[in-house]
Amino acid sequence: MFEHIERVPGDAILGLIEAYKQDDNPRKVDLGVGVYRDDEGNTPVLAAVKRAEKRLEESEETKSYIGSHGDERYTNAIARLVLGEDSSALEANRISVTQSPGGTGALRLAADFIATSLPGRAIWLSQPTWPNHPAVFGAAGLELKHYPYVNADNRLDFDAMLAALNEVPAGDVVLLHACCHNPTGFDLDTDQWQQVLEVVKNRQLLPLIDFAYQGFGDGLEEDARGVRLFVESLDEVLVTSSCSKNFGLYRERTGALMIAAANEKQMLDVRSQIAITARENYSTPPSHGAAVVGEILTDDELTTLWLKELAQMRDRINGLRSDFVEALRPHGLAERFAFIGEQRGMFSYTGLDADQVKRLRDEFSIYMVGSGRANVAGLSANSLDYVAEAIASVVR
């Protein structure tokens, strides 16, 4: 039977990783893969995580299953981290929280929930967006639609975004990036969030906010302002969160799906559907990463250590952004690339085209994805000038 099965090309990012590995140029730079890196190019385990793991190793008494909604210590703590200690929605018991296998798992739960419980609704994604968004929502059978996010110069085009959202049919789902928009790095300010909220209310849309980088932009609280505004102002909101980046727990698959409903009864109705969706997909979530996050967030000493490490990661990325713009100055390119300093999160839409990206790779061993998205965290003090010189050479 298998002789008819076609081989499909692998994920472009995986190809990029392989090509980077094979490259023996000692000056090679990897700006492709979406993980945080320190100045030595490593993605270290956080000290707060190591300490929590040590404690868990000693205190863990069973490997029996946890429930479909996950570990309560984790779900309670992550809900307060995302929605705020003083969230009136949490107080009103109208938020369902489900632990998920990473942020991607939460997106898939949300997708299946929409497909089965709210059929016939399209989902609107920013153009561009993280390529796994259309993949996950498409796999769940949802109709995919797009709203513009950047203009021809690859800068945020808020007016076009708002105008498009104003045309979305009532009841459709709109996916928004909470912060550190992937791939562009352009985020909405408070006033823009407010304007989107008005459109969502007027057009009766269902917002799904993907929150994969809390703490990587301007700070834990600052990055959450859109999510909190929406959850406190609207009866119905879906939020997917991820601990992959901010706790460095990538491979431990730690995330959560939060659903705000109008009241406790409706929340419990929705929650019962999510339990079934989880059960049908993977039954119960993996325990370890959530146990680590639960341990950190319920212990003052570990929380303080984690906050310090998170601030270091954030400051390093934001520092690299301004240093990179300075490295481009001697080439007369600081103004042209000034937006890199304004973008937030790991990624920057550089505006380089596919040809220029290819030349960077072929001539300079600098690797980034074809769309011109660069992982700023892949830069280092040692490589800044080299990358700036290479960019100067390909844009001329």
CB atoms within 10 A of CB 208: 26
Size of the site for ligand PLP (CB under 6 A): 13
The C-alpha atoms of residue 310 and residue 315 are separated, in whole angstroms, by 9
Tokens 């399209």 sit on residue: 122
Q: Does 182 bind ligand PLP (CB under 6 A)?
A: yes
Q: Does 81 bind ligand PLP (CB under 6 A)?
A: no
Which residue lies nearer to ligand PLP by CB, 136 or 164? 136
Length of the chain: 396
Which residue lies nearer to ligand PLP by CB, 226 or 255? 255
Marked catalytic residue, from 187, 210, 223, 306: 210
| Nearest Cα residue to 309 out of 48, 30, 132 | 48
Annotated active-site residue 130? The verdict is yes
Indicate which single residue of 242, 318, 350, 365 sits in contact with ligand PLP (rule: CB under 6 A).
Answer: 242
- Distances 24 to 167, 324, 371 between C-alpha atoms, Å: 51, 25, 24
Indicate which single residue of 32, 70, 84, 102 sits in contact with ligand PLP (rule: CB under 6 A).
Answer: 102
Which residue lies nearer to ligand PLP by CB, 84 or 102? 102
Indicate which single residue of 104, 318, 365, 375 sits in contact with ligand PLP (rule: CB under 6 A).
Answer: 104
Q: Does 123 bind ligand PLP (CB under 6 A)?
A: no
The C-alpha atoms of residue 76 and residue 90 are separated, in whole angstroms, by 10
> For residue 102, how many C-alpha atoms fall within 13 Å in the half-sphere facing its CB?
11
Binding letters toward ligand PLP, positions 360-389, x by CB under 6 A: ------------------------------
Marked catalytic residue, from 28, 30, 71, 245: 245
Indicate which single residue of 207, 255, 285, 378 sits in contact with ligand PLP (rule: CB under 6 A).
Answer: 255
Marked catalytic residue, from 28, 112, 130, 306: 130
Contact 68, 99 (CB under 8 A): no
For the chain, the 3-state helix, strand and coil shares in percent, each to the nearest 5, are 50, 15, 40
The C-alpha atoms of residue 184 and residue 181 are separated, in whole angstroms, by 6
What residues are labeled active site?
130, 210, 245
The contact set with ligand PLP (CB under 6 A) reads 34, 102-104, 130, 177, 182, 210, 212, 242, 244, 250, 255
